[in-house]
Structure 1
Amino acid sequence: MTTAAASRRDLDALLRPKSVAFVGASDKSTFSTIAYDLQRRFGAADRTFLINPNKPVVHGQATYPSVADVPGGVDCAFVMVPQRAVLESIEQAAAAGARAAVVLSAGYAETGPEGAKRQAELVAVCERNDLVLLGPNHLGFANMVDGLAVCSLPGLTPRPGPLAVVSQSGALAGTMSLFAADHGIEFSFVVTTGNEAMVTAEDVLAYLVEDETTRAVAVFAEAIRRPDVFLGAVRRARALGKAVVMLKAGSSELSARTAVAHTGALVGDDAVVDAVLRQEGVIRVGHLEELLLTGHLAARTGPWTAPGVAVVSISGGACDIVADQGEKLGLPLPSLAPETEARLGTVVSELGHAQNPLDVTGAALMDHALMGRVVSILAEDPQVGMVLAVGVPDPSLPRVRAALDAASVPGAVAATIEQALTGPRGRATLDAGMSGLTYLPSTRDAVHATAAVSRWSAWYATARADAPAPAAPPRPAVRPGVPLSEHGVRTLLAVAGVPVVPGVLATSADQAADAFDGPVALKIVSPDVQHKTDIGGVRLGVAGPDAIRAAYAQVLASVDVLDPRPAVEGVLVTPMRSGGLELLVGVVRDDQWGPILAIGLGGVFVEVLRDTALLRLPATAREIAEALASLRAAPLLRGARGVPPADLDRLVEVILAIGGLALSLGDDLAELEVNPLHVHGSTIEALDGLLTWRGR
């Protein structure tokens, strides 16, 4: 359970307290020992008061029997007592002036219904005392900016850096802090949120985005509890040029109500989250090392002026690996400009053709200034936004660092094979001039991180200049909850500016036979029949008056199998369409994220090929165009295998109109689906439409 979103004032009190009480401090507690050792190393021992009614000295420092005994009171209580003693500790801390509590204790909502009741009681006590709660069931937080470690996270170093970490898992945050210490990654904040009874990861993200020291935020999350807060935070990060990197674990399907239409079957919960993250420019990663190293690189470089990466190495094999892996991950390795090649020719002429990635060979072992000169030249290429130097010999590091410091684009140094900055080799690297450089511990890590930050930089450049999403049109004159037949949906689509195939709602066999020349499709029209094919309510490719009259009777009789027999408006007759492509364009309302637009290959292939792209509405024309380009069927849209190229600009306009109609119908809409949307060159028509309301 969570309460209202935490305010900036609340989080200032929580994450920037002037003094802290360690309630339950004990030499026998590993949590307490780690936390107090961190406070000493952070220089905050004089602001830390140890509370233990049974031991006069803990961790070599005098204790107080209760928080109430601390002279002048405290700002924050770090509660490490057993669950049964937590409420009393909170009451005492509040009486002593505390405005924040960090509760490590477990035994709450993570244990089941009874634990959830205890958690609700904990929240109620905190709210009654105007006290903000972090946790319970987590490992606390560290604020390297102000020199404070209210946590039990081993491996943290007090020197502040530009990357913040937010983790719903305390144990994983501890693991990440150890990894960071080994690899030279420095943090501004590390915050674990645990059960999130009050403060959620989204609240912390929104707070840290505004921190001046923080240039990127890495988030580990199993759930996004406050989508509105999350969206506000990542959009604010975009405005400030800060990256948000996320490792999102777990997945689940939408509830059974979405199975009423094909779109619902395609929009699974994790697919929706993935679409939202991509659309909002959040860098989604797949493992913890990638989370930290991508965040580290993004924090150190910020957005690049160009997405291209130039690579230099002393190893041709490393260049091959970068090229191969970079192609798989979409890392742009642009060809060098002629003037760049000419300048490189004066430096490495004996090495052959200058290219990207560039192998300077073992010559760099003899000439310690060579790699630095190459880095300087590569950094000035107009298509290069970042320079990566792989396997730099130790004697060359000072020159490479100087070149990168002077360059107009950011850069990083990577080890050829996994190498942490610990042990004799790591210390030698640091002593040789590594300190202050952005370091990536292997070629593999470097390719993954640079590819991710390159994609984000390209997104950032276009997102800043992107036109705002169009506003929803006025709500049409339709009563929410009242079922609509296909004929009614066609009317809504046409009014919204969506082209629909011509049609006649026939109420007699003769009217059907006279509707159109050539082959036609006939479909039963009833607001209570959604999947018409299932009952034999569709006939396709019917030609000739007699055949059309017979098909009309068959379609009309199809509802006789239903009990009760639904009301029938008539039989829809439309001309057959052939050639081109059939797309699905549908909108389903997700309980967390609202209306989600699905675009994909439609018709009978929708559930077979599952070639679908998702967007959260409202979406811009650029986002829709990119979604179309991401489909496996995209080559067909561009014209292939005898299919005429689609008018993509017009197709985007039509999809925008469908999305606009869905938005205009408001929160009552469950699904709106056009399947198929027939695309044949510049001719685009909705051939079928379905609309359902929530609760039906």
Structure 2
Amino acid sequence: MNYYSKGEIRRERIKRMLAPQSAVFIGGASMIPAIDNCRARGFRGSIYVVNPRRSELAGIPCVPNVASLPEVPEVAFLAVPRENIVGVVKEISELGVAGAICNSAGFSEMHGGEKSQRELVEAAGEMPIIGPNCPGVANFADRSVFMMNYFGNHDENGSVALISNGGSYLSDLGCADRSLPVAYSVGLGNQAMITVADIMDVVLDDERIRAVNLYLEGIADAAVLSAAGLKAARRGVPVVVIKGGRTSAGRRATQSHTASLAGDDIVTSALFKRLGFVEVRTPTEALETLKMLVYAPRVKGRRTAYATDAGSYAVIGSDIAEVNGLDLPTPSAQAAAELEKYLPPFVRPANPLDISSGGEAGFDQNLNLYRAYLSDDRDMALQVMCYPPEGGWDPKSWDDTTRAFAQAARERQLPAAFVNTMPEALPRRVRERMIADGLVPLQGMEDGIRAVSNAMRSWELADVLSQRTAEEILLPRYRIGEAEEIAVDEAAAKAELGASGIAVPRSVVVTPDQTGRLDELNFPVAVKALSAGLAHKSELGAVVLGLGTPEEALQAVRAMAEKLKHSAPELSIRKFLVEEMVKDGLGELLLGIRRVDSMGLALTIGMGGTEAELLRDTATILLPASRAMIAEALCSLKLFPLLDGWRGRPKGDIEAVVDTIEKFTQFALSSEERFVEAEINPLIVRPRGQGAVAVDAVMRLARHR
């Protein structure tokens, strides 16, 4: 049996786990809430319970062992003590159970539990296990709920799949009173066998799913996640993601700026962008974004007509809208003239439009007002107000103005959303009416407006991915063996780059006593100390620039050698690089590539030289990357116009820069297992047609044991 057929068999087993015809619960009294929850949610299949010490559990007769089951269940829910779990898993695997949901804890999430988890996986064999240490699985769409606790009650019309490392996130979103149409809620726990990407791949086969939400605390295999991302992109299913535990680079590379300028959090964001995922910060932002994606038609641009009933909401909301990239164009003269017929005399046409007391004018007057306001060519209609809570003011005027807004937008076939400024106060009956009217009910001013922007971003990314090949989205699986990392000095690093076709300055390597061949160089030159452990030469006085003759270069080498004996004796520096200087540079770039655990190679492009860390004007993409993707990343730098003829400046050789970056990435990719990290800082950009030159480089390679 080949790898692919095994993979397909496993996918089919996971599908059976998510919508089984029969289930067995194995464990003790702690499972009673899970069994009750399963029945309360309407599971249609047979339920069995295995417990050797009890006659019944949750009203269901117990059988003493797995061998006594009257049939082979399709899924097993396990809440067995860790010391007994391996034997149980081996039994149900040999019995032919399609898969198991392991709620039992005490594995890799705890110190010393890794061995137990390996034994668990070994006992499972070909049977997939979700978990261990997971809350369970809920498929509300098919009434198949196997959760240790209550994770919400959703009907069979859900369209959102929630997939998470842990349970609290799922509980928060599943139990929120926000009208989120949840179909699947899957907690993966330790992901010993089944990952977030595996579940995502399976639920994407369900035509009912219109959006996926991922909560990740780690990415086990970016290649598998990229395959699921490609599937989502080709199916047109948006993905909203939260990455927990975002920190700077877990391992600082002392040899370069790249790790500090593109920490692991930035690389993770680059992965999400490559896959078209919309990254959000909080569970409530994720929740509101998902509602916008599943209830609103596709928004084709960012031109937004914003209406509210209070000046403060206009000011605060427009600030939030602008920060999040919404465009609020002013009404045209024709629309403004029509608006003035319906606005109170003290209100002027504007965007945001503050209707003030106009909300009390009744449905017909509001409809005329909004028809006038939405008569301009816009991409999105947005209404921001605060509904009275149940038992508060008479909601009639709010009902009239929101119904009128929804109808005016519907007549224009314009996507429309309502943002309640406070998240708590939007009653369910109002939300349901708005959804029926085509008005997306969003809760919380900042979360709501960000949700609108996030949905726009999702559709923009979808357009980009639709133009990319599968190879520009998928990531390879890199083979990483046990290796010793070795830093090489600048001369060796440049030799590697030069062999890859990257332009480097002509140079010679000398010692204080052997300085021949200096007269072969064109002056002026630079002198640099050579040592694999020398990261920042200028700080130690290990570089001198602008030397005009061989004699000056010789004096600089000897003076530098003497100085470094005292300032850096541990480096024992005896060799020096003397190289020709580039005299016609127009600007500098930093190029860095480093290997990131579980994700592969990440390329960072930024403004170079000593200002690199201060400016932090960088773009990061994952490799492999096409020439178009490289050019896009380069052009995204805020200061890129300085290299491209800004305000009459001479244009740099941008084509040569892209060529250099392509060759740099090809070097890293072709080096495969031995590549760890390399950086060019700076790459000097010369005038158009004259090329680009790597004038400094650091590199670390791997020597495999």
Question: TM over 0.5, yes or no?
Answer: yes
Letter of the aligned partner of 1:77 in structure 2?
A
Letter of the aligned partner of 2:698 in structure 1?
L
Report if aligned partners of 1:375, 1:387 keep a CA contact under 8 Å in 2: no
Q: Distance in 2 between matches of 1:258 and 1:5?
A: 37
Q: Residue 21 of structure 1 is aligned with which of 14, 19, 24?
A: 24
* Matching of residue 144 in structure 1 with residue 140 in structure 2: yes
* Matching of residue 192 in structure 1 with residue 187 in structure 2: yes
Residue 556 of structure 2 corresponds to 551
* Matching of residue 416 in structure 1 with residue 417 in structure 2: no
Matches within 5 A, 1:231-246: 231-246=226-241
Q: Distance in 1 between matches of 2:373 and 2:673?
A: 53
Matches within 5 A, 1:248-647: 248-251=243-246, 258-301=253-296, 303-335=298-330, 354-369=349-364, 382-384=377-379, 386-391=380-385, 393-403=398-408, 408-419=413-424, 425-427=427-429, 430=432, 437-466=439-468, 486-487=490-491, 489-490=493-494, 492-494=496-498, 496-501=500-505, 511-513=517-519, 515-517=521-523, 519-524=524-529, 537-544=542-549, 546-554=551-559, 568=575, 571-575=577-581, 577=583, 580-628=586-634, 631=637, 633-634=639-640, 636-637=642-643, 646=652
Q: Distance in 2 between matches of 1:528 and 1:677?
A: 21
C-alpha distance 256-56 of structure 1, shift in aligned 2 (>3 A): closer
Report if aligned partners of 1:259, 1:265 keep a CA contact under 8 Å in 2: no
Residue 126 of structure 1 corresponds to 124
* Displacement of 1:436: 7.0
Q: Distance in 2 between matches of 1:235 and 1:66?
A: 43
Q: Distance in 1 between matches of 2:136 and 2:562?
A: 68
* Displacement of 1:514: 6.3
1:267-301: CA deviation from partner (whole Å, max 9, x where unpaired): 43223212222333222221111122222322333
Q: Distance in 2 between matches of 1:495 and 1:289?
A: 52
1:183-207: CA deviation from partner (whole Å, max 9, x where unpaired): 1111111100111121111211222
C-alpha distance 531-65 of structure 1, shift in aligned 2 (>3 A): same
C-alpha distance 643-687 of structure 1, shift in aligned 2 (>3 A): farther
C-alpha distance 139-256 of structure 1, shift in aligned 2 (>3 A): closer
Report if aligned partners of 2:344, 2:358 keep a CA contact under 8 Å in 1: no
Matches within 5 A, 1:47-196: 47-91=46-90, 93-94=92-93, 97-113=96-112, 115-127=113-125, 130-151=126-147, 152-179=149-176, 182-196=177-191
Q: Distance in 2 between matches of 1:97 and 1:511?
A: 76
SS at match of 2:179: coil
SS at match of 1:32: helix
Report if aligned partners of 1:332, 1:451 keep a CA contact under 8 Å in 2: no
Report if aligned partners of 1:401, 1:434 keep a CA contact under 8 Å in 2: no
Residue 13 of structure 2 corresponds to 10
1:106-129: CA deviation from partner (whole Å, max 9, x where unpaired): 22222222x3222222222221xx
C-alpha distance 197-533 of structure 1, shift in aligned 2 (>3 A): same
1:229-271: CA deviation from partner (whole Å, max 9, x where unpaired): 1111122212222221111111456575832333244443223
Q: Distance in 2 between matches of 1:60 and 1:449?
A: 45
* Displacement of 1:16: 1.7
SS at match of 2:315: helix
SS at match of 1:105: coil
Residue 691 of structure 1 corresponds to 699
C-alpha distance 575-38 of structure 1, shift in aligned 2 (>3 A): same
1:538-571: CA deviation from partner (whole Å, max 9, x where unpaired): 3212234542342355467788887897785x74
Q: How many residues align?
A: 671
SS at match of 1:108: coil
Q: Distance in 2 between matches of 1:277 and 1:387?
A: 28
Q: Distance in 1 between matches of 2:447 and 2:343?
A: 28
Q: Distance in 2 between matches of 1:663 and 1:371?
A: 61
Structure 1 unaligned spans of 5+: 473-479
Letter of the aligned partner of 1:186 in structure 2?
P
C-alpha distance 545-448 of structure 1, shift in aligned 2 (>3 A): same
Q: Distance in 1 between matches of 2:203 and 2:220?
A: 17
Report if aligned partners of 1:74, 1:96 keep a CA contact under 8 Å in 2: no
Letter of the aligned partner of 2:123 in structure 1?
V
Letter of the aligned partner of 2:320 in structure 1?
Q
Q: Distance in 2 between matches of 1:398 and 1:194?
A: 44
C-alpha distance 564-621 of structure 1, shift in aligned 2 (>3 A): closer
Letter of the aligned partner of 2:32 in structure 1?
S
Q: Distance in 1 between matches of 2:628 and 2:374?
A: 30
* Displacement of 1:449: 1.0
C-alpha distance 165-369 of structure 1, shift in aligned 2 (>3 A): farther
C-alpha distance 433-632 of structure 1, shift in aligned 2 (>3 A): closer
Q: Distance in 1 between matches of 2:264 and 2:138?
A: 32
SS at match of 1:678: strand
Report if aligned partners of 1:506, 1:573 keep a CA contact under 8 Å in 2: no
Q: Distance in 1 between matches of 2:552 and 2:370?
A: 76
Report if aligned partners of 1:313, 1:360 keep a CA contact under 8 Å in 2: yes
Letter of the aligned partner of 1:18 in structure 2?
Q
C-alpha distance 617-376 of structure 1, shift in aligned 2 (>3 A): farther
- Over the aligned positions, Cα root-mean-square deviation in angstroms equals 4.0
Letter of the aligned partner of 1:118 in structure 2?
S
Structure 2 unaligned spans of 5+: 1-5, 388-397, 476-483
1:356-394: CA deviation from partner (whole Å, max 9, x where unpaired): 33333332332314555666677775551x322223712
Report if aligned partners of 2:295, 2:438 keep a CA contact under 8 Å in 1: no
Q: Distance in 1 between matches of 2:517 and 2:195?
A: 62
Q: Distance in 1 between matches of 2:355 and 2:349?
A: 9
Letter of the aligned partner of 1:388 in structure 2?
L
Q: Distance in 1 between matches of 2:435 and 2:699?
A: 64
Q: Distance in 2 between matches of 1:481 and 1:620?
A: 28
Q: Distance in 2 between matches of 1:196 and 1:306?
A: 39
SS at match of 1:447: helix
Residue 672 of structure 1 corresponds to 678
Identity value in percent: 28
Residue 479 of structure 2 corresponds to none
SS at match of 2:453: helix
1:69-108: CA deviation from partner (whole Å, max 9, x where unpaired): 5543321111234334434544554466421111212222
Normalised to the residue count of structure 1, the TM-score between the two structures is 0.84
SS at match of 1:277: helix
